[in-house]
Amino acid sequence: MSPTQPFLPFALPEIGEEEIAEVVDTLRSGWVTTGPKARRFEQDFSAFLGEPEGLHCIAVNSATAGLHLALEALGIAPGDEVITTTHTFTATAEVVRYLGADVKLVDIDPATLNIDPAAVEAAITPRTKAIMPVHYGGLAADMPALLDIAHRHNLKVVEDAAHALPTTCGGCLVGTLASDATVFSFYANKTITTGEGGMLVTRDAALAQRAKTMRLHGMNRDAFDRFTAKVPSWYYEVVAPGFKYNLTDIAAALGIHQLKRALAFQQQRERLAAAYDRALAGLPVVLPPRPALGDQHSWHLYVLRLADGAGIHRDRFIERLFAAGIGCSVHYIPLHLHPYWRDRYGLTAAMFPHSQHAYERMLSLPLYTRMTEADVERVAAAVRAALR
Ligand SMILES: *Cc1c(COP(=O)(O)O)cnc(C)c1O
């Protein structure tokens, strides 16, 4: 490790000339907010998912917005409870609070770091209305078990698929499973990016209609509809106090071309993850869980856990990698440790032993398409050195 090597950041987007040209075209077109490109991005997204019968794709300005819209459309309200994993980003849970409902956090399966279906079933009360699985790191949650629980207890399922493009579960792409809604994120460090953005996907026509209305102020017609109408079209009606969650055409312009590259991006991430696996084999670390046979992992994150015999604290370990010029992150500080969630629900680490155990030992190594296998080798060398 030469100190003259440039810093290797934790994440970097890959934006190509086609994305840039499409954004410039949008800027020159005279229509910069939600319009033809946002529509095309929605259509392309549906095609990407194989155009399943009756699938609606609704572009939004973040996954957080999409999750909020999905729960709102499902009627989640004060008095209701929604179950999700403590081992996630706060966005998954905060949208439940936007609606005045309560969050029931549960522990993870230590083998997969995904929400534990048995813990979900044990947390169900008469107030429970929905389950929100997160496909952590890009590895599908145990959807067959979760959908079965939801079916038996008459619960809705909204998948937080912020990490899961493209991920498969039982051979089917996340987004086409039998849940009520699935929400993808196009935040800067996700597997494809629009800077900020998200996509709400559902087969429920009523949910789709409500989400489209609430995405734009609760108006029954959007501005582009009115702009392109053949008759004077200033008229619209406000049917609910909606939100401002629409995706701009500038962002959609990026998304159209990022989506075309999503499969190639996944292959590159998978190659890099395999290179990490080879380079780190035999060290006192727990490598990321593999997908089920025949399934695809999006490899949004490469999460390493220090083994109990590693002889170094995670925080010190990250400091050593940083000193070697390598950016890392931790996904996540579990929600039960954050003051808001901890204090509101009286949570302790002992209630989530698997999440807590993983959190104390985990870090996410850099993994993005602009990395080379030489970069992986450099990170692996720094990991080996830090463990000595
Ligand atoms: C990134 C992320 C979100 C939020 O996505 P935004 O598009 O930034 O709103 C939600 N859940 C998880 C698990 C995430 O990683």
CA 132 / ligand 1 centre spacing (Å): 13
- Which residue ranges of the chain lie beneath pLDDT 50? 1
Return the residue whose CA atom lies nearest to atom 14 of ligand 1: 162
- Residue 55 maps to a domain: yes
- What range does the domain containing 164 cover? 17-260
| Protein residue with its CA nearest to atom 15 in ligand 1 | 162
**Final residue belonging to a domain, choices 226, 260, 294:** 260
pTM for this structure?
A: 0.97
In a domain, 8, yes or no: no
Return the CATH number at 325: 3.90.1150.10
Ligand 1 pocket member 335 (CB < 6 A): no
DSSP sequence for 230-270: SS------B-S---B-BPPHHHHHHHHHHHHTHHHHHHHHH
Residue pair 136/113 in contact (Cβ under 8 Å)? The answer is yes
198 lines ligand 1 (CB under 6 A): yes
Any domain includes 224: yes
- What is the per-residue pLDDT for 222? 77
Distance 308 CA to ligand 1 centre (A): 30
Decide if 281 is inside a domain: yes
59 lines ligand 1 (CB under 6 A): no
Q: Is residue 242 part of a domain?
A: yes
- Is 10 among the domain residues? no
Q: Do residues 269 and 237 both lie within one domain? A: no
How high is the pLDDT of residue 282?
Answer: 96
Query: What pLDDT, on the 0 to 100 scale, is given for residue 3?
Result: 54
191 and 292 fall within a common domain: no
Q: How many distinct structural domains can be found in the chain? A: 2
Provide the token pair at 46: 């549906």
Please, are residues 237 and 266 in contact by the beta-carbon 8 Å criterion? Answer: no
Give the per-residue pLDDT at 334. 98
Q: What is the pLDDT of residues 207-240, one digit of tens each?
A: 999 999 999 999 988 777 777 877 778 889 999 9
Final residue in a domain of this structure, among 241, 260, 279: 260
Please give the pLDDT value at position 93.
Answer: 98
Residue 6 lies in a domain: no
Ligand 1: nearest atom to the Cα of 65: 9
**Boundary residue ending a domain (236, 260, 284):** 260
Q: Is residue 5 part of a domain?
A: no
Whether 170 and 195 map to the same domain: the answer is yes
Out of 37, 129, 156, 190, which one is annotated catalytic? 190
The total of other beta-carbon atoms located within 10 Å of residue 339's CB is 7
Can you tell me which atom of ligand 1 is nearest the CA of 134?
A: 13
Q: Tell me, what's the pLDDT at 2? A: 52
pLDDT in tens, 308-347: 999 999 999 999 999 999 999 999 999 999 999 999 999 9
267 and 236, same domain (yes or no): no
> pLDDT value at position 29?
97
Annotated catalytic residue 190: yes
Centroid of ligand 1 to alpha carbon of 315 (angstroms): 24
Whether 374 and 252 share a structural domain: no
Q: Is 246 in the same domain as 271?
A: no
Same domain? For 38 and 176 the reply is: yes
